[in-house]
Amino acid sequence: MSKTTFLVWVLAFGLLSLSTGSVFADTVEMKDGSKYDGKFVSKDDHYVVFEVQIGQTKIERRFPAAQVVKLTITGPAAPPAEPAKKAEVSPPDSATTKPQDQPPGDDETAAVTSGPSYLVIPIRGEFGVEVDPKVVQRCLDLARRLKPDAVILDIHSPGGSVRTLFEMMDIVADWQSKESIRLVAFVRQEAFSAAALFALSVKDVYMMPGSAMGAALVISISSKGIDDVAASGTVGEKFASAFRAKARTITDIAGHDPLIAEAMIDPQVELWLAKDAEGKPVILRGPVSAEQKKAYPQPPTMMVAKGKLLTLTANEAVDAGVIAGIAANYDELGRQLQYAGWKSASNSAEKTIASQEAKVAQARKRYEQYADGVEAGFSRFLRASSAELPELEASISTMRAKLVQIEKLIVEYPWVEELAARDFPAGLTNMKLQCDKLLGEIREYKAQMRRQGQRR
């Protein structure tokens, strides 16, 4: 059955090509339960540094050591997994202590009637998955009704969909042009890729100590896997160019230097930091000439070299004038914004976001169950011999049924398509067709056996 053998190998390649991608990946696990793969670079008392490759570009991501709970390094002669050092916990400046990932503040559901107040909208998880513009817009509609002094966009995100980023940027731009309620971006631990550019679309940006933001290389996920859009063909360059223009425009409108956004997006941009006679930061596009260096009291320092993406720690962002300040919690943030003693107007927005996150978690769980079902069916298929036709047929039928369930889940949650494209690069439709061909061939073979038995 040469045709069957060929189809088996095609199917096997489609299913197994992804699984070898992260066999030797090191991992870092955070206090909030998030887990990241990459290549371990270094570790000190402040940061754990990992190298991650996106398309043809390698970037380094710094994770605050205080937030790391486990570091696993694989590969030859690798040291065993080690727990991170426990973080020193500063005394809270509120009477009630909150868990790390719970927003510090009141849990009131009713609007505050006197004194300054704030409303927190958590921006957590992946843009286009957990982060949904429609849900965020509903939370902002709530802010219009409650009328707090400020809306805090509490950001902790690795980035995500460019399309979702554009929608989120437009929502922020519209709000800042029409509403009197202050909008504040507050980066908690990390804001990478789309999340970094989203933060820069807000006029007032603050970061928590030890947090980082940046590294926004444009990537796309399709049935062919992950591609570096900026480095791909003409169509990819057109998209990347439009993306850079959008980011520059929105960042400039928010009052930030567009060069910062550009250096986070384009690895070909070299940036330098200078200080004028009054000590104010000046961002320069490199290379910097000898004459330019002489124009400042102190020689400019390089922020990011050509070939790398800009990533800034909280201290670096303040020094470069990218953000307004650093705050450890909402109380400290309020004091810096001249809202000392402010209170939470409501926790309804946080409940709305939590509900969205729960729905996404359930959908992810369903997807993983279906994907595991595909893999289980394939494992049974490989173990069965050509003489075990019922087992072969059952295993292929299982795979096909799970593929159909994944397709139905995509209709309900479109972002699942990206997970499927990543895990099954051969494509769901193609895999179903191959399953159908294999089932048809097995059934035809069984029919032939029955006809031969009848002739006897």
Distance, in Å, from the CA atom of 36 to the CA atom of 245, rounded to the nearest integer, reads 30
Strand runs labelled E in 128-181: 150-160
Please count the other Cβ atoms lying within 10 Å of the Cβ belonging to residue 253.
Answer: 16
Confidence (pLDDT) at 344: 96
- Backbone φ/ψ region at 21: left (φ over 0), alpha (ψ -120 to 50), beta: alpha
- Out of 3.80.30.10, 2.40.340.10, 3.40.960.10, 3.90.226.10, which CATH number does the structure's domain 117-269+306-346 have? 3.90.226.10
Helices (H) and strands (E) in the chain, counts: 13, 18
Tell me the C-alpha distance between 17 and 10, whole Å: 11
> In the 8-state DSSP scheme, what is residue 328?
S
The pTM of the full predicted model, rounded to 2 decimals, is 0.70
Domain ranges of the chain: 2-17+356-455, 26-72, 117-269+306-346
Q: What is the pLDDT of residue 52?
A: 62
Query: What pLDDT does 6 receive?
Result: 34
- pLDDT recorded at residue 108: 40
The angle at the Cα of 309, spanning 49 to 235, to the nearest 5 degrees, equals 130
Contacts of 438 (CB under 8 A, 6+ apart): 4, 7, 8, 11, 392, 396
Position 80 scores a pLDDT of 42
Q: Tell me what pLDDT residue 49 has.
A: 79
Please give the pLDDT value at position 234: 40
Task: Compute the distance between CA of residue 293 and CA of residue 284 in angstroms, rounded to an integer.
Answer: 10
pLDDT score, position 28: 78
- C-alpha span between 331 and 291 (Å, rounded): 45
Maximum Cα–Cα distance across the chain: 102
What is the distance of C-alpha 340 from the center of its chain? 33
Query: How much is the CA Rg of the chain, to the nearest whole Å?
Result: 26
CA atoms of 140 and 135, how far apart (whole Å) = 9
**381 touches 396 (CB < 8 A):** yes
Contact 202, 155 (CB under 8 A): no
Each residue's pLDDT tens digit in the chain (456 positions)?
333 333 343 444 333 333 333 334 688 787 766 677 778 888 877 678 777 654 444 556 667 777 788 888 864 434 444 444 443 333 334 333 343 344 433 334 444 447 999 999 999 999 999 999 999 999 999 999 999 999 999 999 999 888 899 999 999 999 999 999 999 999 999 999 999 999 999 999 999 999 999 998 765 443 333 344 433 444 466 677 888 889 999 999 999 999 999 999 999 999 999 999 999 999 999 999 999 989 999 999 999 999 999 999 999 999 999 999 999 999 999 999 999 999 999 999 999 999 999 999 999 999 999 999 998 888 888 777 666 778 888 889 999 999 999 999 999 998 899 889 888 888 999 999 989 998 888 888 888 888 877 766
Residue 304, pLDDT score: 96
